[in-house]
Amino acid sequence: MTHAISRRARWVAGGALVACVAAVTPASAAAPAVTCTSAKAGLAAKLKKDITNSLANRKGTIAVGLYDRTTNTTCTLRSSSAYDSASVVKVTVLATLLWDAKKHNRFLTATETKLAEAMITKSDNDSTSKLWRQLGMTKIKGFLTAAKMTQTKPGADGYWGLTQITVTDEQKLLKLVTAKNAVLSDNSRAYILKLMGKVVSSQRWGTPSGVPSGVSVAVKNGWLSRSTHGWRVHSVGAFKGGGHDYMITVLTHGNSTMNYGIATIQGVAKVIHKDLKAS
């Protein structure tokens, strides 16, 4: 992946890409607080305290989303702040492909299946570029409209890694993938979760960190370094088992290294898994 990262960093650095910076919360703004609500007594206060503490000494700009269906628990931090998507957008690309195939009452071709598998399980960039070009902006925007992902702005000129994403929209997507709905068929949802469950071991960091045994994991991560805001490091995950059915999104930028961003995400994930397991 390092080769792919450096290659992507090169093409990213060379483009006219300053426009996306305006969406970022300025560093001088007062730091927003984690907010949590829950139907389970005491859980919201515990999560708010533990997530806040996990981020207390972390540099960078961090956005967090948690939703647990079982306890009707939601936590958010910077839920509408925009981030360059990096490879997290690949779940949206796959969902768009499946949504469009369903509309035309067809199965994926052998080629599409091969590209989709490489895109999600290995985070293969060439496969993603092929599917992004095949779908085109009309279909991608069509899916975003159907999914009510109104805060997501697809990257221009084929730069899918510069799609602007927010915690709110990533959580909407994870909700669609993990429960029956009119946008994605049950087969499509099962396929997305299957591929996210087969991500190669070297890319299973992030939101799965600290997940209790017996809880299923579906994950997709993204990482990208640019001259502004350092490393973007993101992780989205869906988890089911142990009496819970939940999804976590953590988006970060302003990281000095990729590993620093990973450590920030994993600090958040560990306390969420722990608090839900104890509830």
d(C-alpha 117, C-alpha 128), whole Å: 10
Helices (H) and strands (E) in the chain, counts: 8, 8
- pLDDT band at residue 9 using 50, 70 and 90 as cut-offs: very low
Q: Residue 24: inside a domain, yes or no?
A: no
Domain span at 66: 2-11+33-278
Q: pLDDT at residue 139 above 90?
A: yes
pLDDT tens profile 90-126: 999 999 999 999 999 999 999 999 999 999 999 999 9
Note whether 264 and 58 are within 8 A (CB).
Answer: yes
Q: Residue 28: inside a domain, yes or no?
A: no
Of 11-15, 63-67, 184-188, give the lowest mean pLDDT range.
11-15
pTM of the model: 0.90
Instruction: Write the CATH number for 96.
Output: 3.40.710.10
pLDDT of 12 reads 40
- pLDDT band at residue 29 using 50, 70 and 90 as cut-offs: low
d(C-alpha 117, C-alpha 38), whole Å: 36
Q: Residue 123: inside a domain, yes or no?
A: yes
Q: Residue 179: inside a domain, yes or no?
A: yes
Q: Residue 168: inside a domain, yes or no?
A: yes
Stronger pLDDT, 186 or 8, i.e. the higher one: 186
d(C-alpha 225, C-alpha 260), whole Å: 12
pLDDT tens profile 195-204: 999 999 999 9
pLDDT tens profile 149-172: 999 999 999 999 999 999 999 999
> What's the total number of domains in the chain?
1
Q: pLDDT at residue 22 above 90?
A: no
pLDDT tens profile 80-90: 999 999 999 99
Q: Residue 65: inside a domain, yes or no?
A: yes
Note whether 175 and 199 are within 8 A (CB).
Answer: no
